[in-house]
A and B are shown apart, each in its own frame.
Chain A
């Protein structure tokens, strides 16, 4: 099969951010999910929570304008915003376990049709990198995943059951990949939006789990162009 163009990472993250509602407290994982913060909707305000205890921070700081004491979960320098607050680590995770986080967006190695996902340990390697992922996955109100649809060697990441050790069971509700947008339903993955030029059959071919095709399946939605 000739390789068709896949979605860009920014588009994958924009699509998840379109689901954020006004006033939501949002926690973005390190790496690709951080791109969600580039999504701007003038009709909505989101409150950024970072696990190191900063709530209500702004965009990345411009070069030369960094505050050396203000970083996000990825150690990137972010900007202070009016209304921002700082708490210590135990209080930051009290907010997470206490159910204050409306959505967390994370990357993953695998997602299963039962909502399990794996993102902390890979095979044949000792140890793992959990960070705050298990607390967030277990306790945020919603867990969204942004990940490539296939591994580098072309194997599916959307599985019947995770092969890797899970981060949390049954946590994921929405997945954005470079091939489309998928809801997790009691019956399994439901394809709701497909990347331009990709048919449900094309996507199924690269997916281990059986896809349910939404009755109102539509083309993947991109954010409206906006002035930067």
Chain B
């Protein structure tokens, strides 16, 4: 069977071409694939579309905003395209206000479900979220069980960058606490899933099959974060 273990992040992202859609999980600074994002930043792919909860935070840690600031991203699809507080002027916000980057604003639950639908082979879904707001304008509406819904389309990706707690050599993954967030659905939604592992990569058979959060069939490349890597 194909070896999925890569020794370095640079090798794991080396073949990523310009123009692809990448998915980057993380919420509240937890479960962010910072080592893979740093490697893609070094690798230099451009014209990327990013899918993430937000477009980068104010701290100086590596996140999606690092790629945005470097001019590698042409469009962000996320649940925040303006600062939650006027003081939170990220590189994305400045570039967006200057029309230097495109964005699509999606309610967070719709964002998650669109990726889940893509991974699950669902051709879209109807949701009551955003009905009656300007985000629903132009979308197909349908009344279901007496309630108005809007049609939302699946959101697939080319690459997903995943931050896991443990992996086995097949790519079965476990997360710790709220590290999980968008990770499992992004792993499903992308064609190629690359994982950075925080704690350890174990041999197959070492993880309890009843305690797997992402099945290894979704996982293509696995890298253990080295001692000098980014652990948050």
Chain A nearest CB from B42 CB (Å) reads 25
B209 within 8 A of A: no
B221 within 8 A of A: no
B61 within 8 A of A: no
Residues A135 and B109 in contact in the complex (CB < 8 Å), given A67-B177, A70-B177: yes
Beta-carbon contact of B108 and A128 below 8 Å: no
Beta-carbon contact of A126 and B82 below 8 Å: yes
Residues of B within 8 A of A40 (CB): none
- Which residues of B in the span 86-136 have a Cβ within 8 Å of any Cβ on A? 93, 96-97, 103, 105-110, 112-113, 115-116, 127-135
Beta-carbon contact of B182 and A88 below 8 Å: yes
B180 within 8 A of A: yes
Q: Which one of A69, A89, A132, A133 lies within 8 Å of B182 (CB-CB)?
A: A89
Residues A134 and B129 in contact in the complex (CB < 8 Å), given A51-B108, A71-B30, A127-B103: yes
Beta-carbon contact of A86 and B132 below 8 Å: no
Which A residues are closer than 8 A to B by beta carbons? 30, 50-54, 67-76, 80, 86-90, 92-94, 96-97, 121-122, 125-135, 138-139, 165-170
Beta-carbon contact of A74 and B28 below 8 Å: yes
Chain B nearest CB from A163 CB (Å) reads 13
Chain B nearest CB from A27 CB (Å) reads 12
Chain B, interface residues (CB within 8 Å), range: 35 or more
Known: A53-B181, A131-B79, A135-B109. 12 other contacts (CB 8 A): A54-B177, A68-B30, A69-B31, A69-B176, A75-B30, A88-B185, A127-B80, A129-B79, A129-B82, A130-B80, A134-B135, A168-B133
Q: Which residue of A lies closest to B214 (CB)?
A: A88
Tell me whether chain A's interface is mostly helix, strand or loop, or mixed. Answer: loop
Q: Which residue of A lies closest to B82 (CB)?
A: A127
- How far is it, in angstroms, between the C-alpha of A53 and the C-alpha of B31 when the chains are bound? 12
Residues A132 and B108 in contact in the complex (CB < 8 Å), given A52-B28, A127-B96: yes
Q: Which residue of A lies closest to B29 (CB)?
A: A75
- How far is it, in angstroms, between the C-alpha of A80 and the C-alpha of B179 when the chains are bound? 14
Beta-carbon contact of A127 and B109 below 8 Å: no
B213 within 8 A of A: yes
B84 within 8 A of A: yes
Q: Which one of B105, B184, B213 lies within 8 Å of A128 (CB-CB)?
A: B105
B6 within 8 A of A: no
Q: Which one of A70, A122, A126, A135 lies within 8 Å of B110 (CB-CB)?
A: A135
- How far is it, in angstroms, between the C-alpha of A132 and the C-alpha of B183 when the chains are bound? 17
Beta-carbon contact of B30 and A69 below 8 Å: yes
Beta-carbon contact of A90 and B178 below 8 Å: no
Chain A nearest CB from B163 CB (Å) reads 10
Residues of A within 8 A of B178 (CB): 50, 52-54, 69-71, 86
Nearest first, the 4 closest Cβ-Cβ pairs linking A and B are A75-B28, A93-B109, A127-B81, A135-B109
Residues of B within 8 A of A50 (CB): 178
Pick 15 A–B contacts, CB within 8 A, sort by A: A51-B108, A67-B177, A69-B31, A71-B178, A75-B30, A86-B177, A88-B183, A89-B112, A90-B113, A129-B83, A130-B79, A130-B107, A131-B80, A138-B128, A165-B133
Chain A nearest CB from B47 CB (Å) reads 21
Residues of A within 8 A of B232 (CB): 68
Beta-carbon contact of A69 and B79 below 8 Å: no
Residues of A within 8 A of B83 (CB): 129
Residues A135 and B108 in contact in the complex (CB < 8 Å), given A75-B28, A126-B97, A129-B82: yes
Residues of B within 8 A of A88 (CB): 112, 180-185, 213
Beta-carbon contact of B27 and A52 below 8 Å: yes
Beta-carbon contact of A86 and B180 below 8 Å: yes
Residues A97 and B109 in contact in the complex (CB < 8 Å), given A130-B79, A132-B79: yes
Residues of B within 8 A of A75 (CB): 27-30
Residues of A within 8 A of B184 (CB): 88, 90
Beta-carbon contact of A168 and B28 below 8 Å: no
- How far is it, in angstroms, between the C-alpha of A97 and the C-alpha of B93 when the chains are bound? 30
Q: Which one of A71, A130, A168 lies within 8 Å of B108 (CB-CB)?
A: A130
- How far is it, in angstroms, between the C-alpha of A122 and the C-alpha of B27 when the chains are bound? 24
Residues A90 and B116 in contact in the complex (CB < 8 Å), given A69-B179, A132-B107, A134-B135: yes
Chain B nearest CB from A209 CB (Å) reads 19
